[in-house]
Amino acid sequence: MTQQVLAKQVQEVFARFSDGVVEDQRVGYQGYIVAPEHLLDFARALRDECGYDYLTTVTGVDYLADGKMEVVYHAFKTLGGPALEFKVQTNRQNPIVPSLALIYPSAELQEREIWDLFGIRFEGHPDLRRILLWEGFYGHPLRKDWKEPYFEEVAKPFKSRFPDGKVYRAEDKHPLKDNIDFPEGFDPAKWEAEGDAALYKALTNIPGADEPGIKTEQIILNFGPQHPSTHGVFRMAVLLDGETIVNLKHVLGYLHRNHEKIGERNTYIQNMPFTDRLDYITSMSNNFGYAVAVEKLMGIQPPERAEYLRVMMAEFTRVISHLMSIGFLLNDLGAFFTPMMYALEEREMILDVFEAVSGSRMMCNYFRFGGVAHDVPDYIFDKIKGLVFERLPRRVDEIDAYLTKNEIIRARCEGVGVLTPEQAIALGVSGPLLRGSGVPYDIRRAEPYSIYDRLDFDVVFTEHGDVYDRYLVRLEEIRQSIRILQQVVKQMPEGPIQIGKSTYQVKVPPGEAYGRVEAPKGELGFYLVSDGKPNPYRYHVRSPSFVNLGALAPMSIGSKVADAVVNLGSIDIVLGEVDR
Amino acid sequence: MTGLAILRGLWITLKRLIMTYVEDFKGGKNRYYTSEGIEARRDYRVRGAITIQYPEEKLPVPERFRYVPFLVYDETPDGERKLRCTSCGICARVCPPQCIWIVRGTDANTGKPIPTPLAFYIDVDVCMNCGMCAEFCPFDSIKMDHDYEIATYDRFAHHIFDLEKLAKSAAYYAKIRPTDYAAEEAVRREKAAKAAQKTEA
């Protein structure tokens, strides 16, 4: 199958690398295994000759039993189509892999993440520091032989729960119990975070800074982690010359809980409610991505009605997310809370629907493998129709009239935070950020999943790549989502919502799968490796916010401090998803 | 002219404010602190503010709403409480954050497990309200509650729910989830009828 898709140039490239690139022969695996010494040349050839210019996912897998670690890359064409997957293998004792950060800048952040969580060193990486964990952290948690404090068992369900449940709290096992005072002799005022020195060194290390000219004093300014404009516990360290940003580094991980390790302990179905907590604004879309990935692995397809229900929920989620993003953007500009509240009103209406359908407003846990958990109750269908055909179109027009031509917004947003299409593709950004930069790439069209190939909608994109264009893309995407919703509500077929009976023990054959959906914030992908056991061997979340954050520094360098806040708002991050 | 769009925006804000008062005026006395008032304000036709005055008034939760689980017991005519739970352990196994602890009893004479649980704990600080336990319980025994106001001053003293706190009557369950209850009862009656037929035949 993969072979047929490959164009002529691709075959030529593969012929050239025939000694270093072999097809992955393991059962259930796809793609190619590249020898480390050929990786850079192969990647360059892929990008320049084959059109695989868009590397979205880089992740690692620890194959403890084979004594190997693997780095997995998924590259796409911005023209659309399926992934080209390639892997590099390395040993576990001294794992070193060449860095792709200079060929695909999108790899930079993700390679840092792999170094942090797997301990794979990337040769030639410009700034290889820990990213999610702090510098003093012991070990690399996603290695299979790493165990967390109070480690219980490798996989859930834990035996201590049944049949002889001995109830305990985490605090019972903690040496300090529930005492959260500082340890004796510790003075927080004198404490300096480990790793900050490395951060500031990376921040002030700018090529070409030693050139002759007027020497000005530069200062380092920290935004966050507790700052109202950072949308959560996010920190930016900014190097300033006057009010102009010379360099910017972001610091993540304040909300890190190692979602992926938890996911590997969980059984497949147990991960579903955990995905709700990634991007907590768009839980339905997260469910969608995970369900698509697991179904790919299982080789099943949900029934027709379930597909429609899924798309309906996902598009409602997109409306919510974009509305909130628009509302918050105005907060970042200083228009305190009125537009925000207007956005939240519509959100409340949609959350009423979610609550009636799934039982929860935000943590929906609605999708199951091969269907959805519940059918839509009849009484809420009237509200859905009212929202989709009457209220939402009217309200979106109102927000449009309220904000789009507003002179202050235009003055603050036009020409600010410009990201060129080349930059956007290279940085691997996705979603409205990519489309705002003039790249009409939408996974619903580029690699259709579910029933999107049958629905009528436009891929929205604009050409300037500034904050204002991202706002326009989001606004128009809400309209397109409403258009999809109208079709879905009209065409909603009758029938079952689940293949067979929903079960808590799903059989997942060994293999790997990368399932991705167009979440409101961009490409949400789940990379899963199954070894046939009830819990995934590897569970990786390619979160759109995390990768999109890579665009923050290129957008902000050279602009004023106040614009960095707006740039961050226009990326639209949710820290639950960034930090995972 | 610069500033025109700002003025138009301000007009929209003003319109919303006016619409809120117009609707309040039209709704009359029933607009606030009555259930029909709350329903009217959350309707999609509302043009003004949709604020609900919590905690004086509360949004009614839909039937499917889920909050921390409870255990259903049936009451026999002579007032005895009979837990539906058979301590099969499926809920403890499927629970994503593993916050359910069950002690299964054994018969002292035969050494075989007895169906009623000796103890049943749920740590509600850990519970993520996903509803998996209720979804996969084969005995309709564990269900998700509607009571979401469970905050206390001392979580260490109150937040591990035991059997006594978890057990709620089938009548309560029927009250909060009438549709589910009716459907389950119908299945139960059907099964009982089939079983009766079998014994007759």
Bridge partners of residue A525, in order along the sequence: A516, A542
Q: Tell me which residues of chain A, numbers 86 to 115, contact chain B at a CB-CB cutoff of 8 Å.
A: none
CB contact A403 to B (< 8 Å): yes
Give the three-state DSSP class for B120.
strand
The residue of chain A with its CA nearest to that of B124 is A169
Residue A208's pLDDT is 63
Q: Tell me which residues of chain A, numbers 155 to 174, contact chain B at a CB-CB cutoff of 8 Å.
A: 156-158, 160-167, 169, 171
pLDDT tier, A210 (very low <50, low <70, confident <90, very high otherwise): low
Dist CA B139 CA A91 (whole Å): 50
Tens of pLDDT, residues A309-318: 999 999 999 9
Mean pLDDT, range A569-579, rounded to an integer? 89
Order across the sheet with A522-530: list the strands. Answer: A511-519, A522-530, A538-542
Residue A286's pLDDT is 92
pLDDT tier, A6 (very low <50, low <70, confident <90, very high otherwise): low
Tens of pLDDT, residues A39-96: 888 888 888 888 888 999 999 999 988 889 999 999 998 888 888 899 999 998 889 9
Domain range A2-123, its CATH number among 2.70.98.90, 3.40.50.2300, 3.40.50.150, 3.30.460.80: 3.30.460.80
Residues of B in contact with A386 (CB under 8 A): 43-45
Q: Mutate which of A152, A159, A167 to test chain B, going by most B C-beta atoms within 10 A?
A: A167
Spans of all domains in chain A: 2-123, 259-579
Residue A7's pLDDT is 65
Tens of pLDDT, residues B13-59: 999 999 999 988 888 888 888 888 888 888 888 888 888 888 889 88
Mean pLDDT, range A400-426, rounded to an integer? 89
CB contact A406 to B (< 8 Å): yes
Please identify which residue in the block is written with the tokens 């109208």. Answer: A486
Separation of CA A332 from chain center? 22
Judge if ipTM > 0.95: no
Q: What is the CATH number of domain B67-200?
A: 3.30.70.3270
As a whole number, the mean pLDDT across chain A is 87
Indicate the pTM of the whole model.
0.90
Dist CA A175 CA A177 (whole Å): 6
Contact between B93 and A161 using a beta-carbon 8 Å cutoff: yes
Residue A3's pLDDT is 44
Q: Mutate which of B6, B38, B44 to test chain A, going by most A C-beta atoms within 10 A?
A: B44
Residue A308, pLDDT > 90, answer yes
Six token digits for residue B68: 């921390």
Nearest to B64 among A163, A348, A356 (CB): A356
DSSP string, A163-192: SB-----HHHHSTTTT--SPPTT--TTT--
Nearest to A338 among B13, B66, B87 (CB): B13
Instruction: Give A391→chain B minimum CA distance, Å.
Output: 6
Contact between B101 and A165 using a beta-carbon 8 Å cutoff: yes
Nearest to B101 among A167, A348, A398 (CB): A167
Tens of pLDDT, residues A476-516: 999 999 999 999 999 989 888 888 887 888 888 999 999 99
pLDDT tier, A211 (very low <50, low <70, confident <90, very high otherwise): low
Mean pLDDT, range A510-525, rounded to an integer? 91
Q: Mutate which of A161, A340, A387, A482 to test chain B, going by most B C-beta atoms within 10 A?
A: A161
Q: Which CATH superfamily is domain A259-579 in?
A: Cytochrome-c3 Hydrogenase, chain B (1.10.645.10)
- B55 preceded by a cis bond (ω within 30 of 0): yes
Contact between B132 and A365 using a beta-carbon 8 Å cutoff: yes
The closest alpha carbon to B21, from B10, B35, B32, B11, belongs to B32
Mean pLDDT, range B80-94, rounded to an integer? 87
Please identify which residue in the block is written with the tokens 């300096």. Answer: A192
Instruction: Give B197→chain A minimum CA distance, Å.
Output: 26
Residue A529, pLDDT > 90, answer yes
Task: Report residue A482: phi and psi, to 5°.
Answer: -65, -40
Residue B11, pLDDT > 50, answer yes
Dist CA A469 CA A186 (whole Å): 49
Nearest to B65 among A274, A355, A387 (CB): A355
The residue of chain B with its CA nearest to that of A502 is B136
Contact between A162 and B102 using a beta-carbon 8 Å cutoff: yes
Spans of all domains in chain B: 1-59, 67-200
Residue A204's pLDDT is 80
Residue B170's pLDDT is 87
Contact between A406 and B90 using a beta-carbon 8 Å cutoff: no
Mean pLDDT, range A414-438, rounded to an integer? 90
Residue A1's pLDDT is 40
Tens of pLDDT, residues A473-483: 999 999 999 99
Give the three-state DSSP class for A88.
strand
Residue A2's pLDDT is 44
Residue B1's pLDDT is 67
Dist CA A518 CA A431 (whole Å): 7
Contacts of A175 (CB under 8 A, 6+ apart): none
Tens of pLDDT, residues A106-132: 999 999 999 999 999 998 888 888 888
Dist CA A218 CA A238 (whole Å): 10
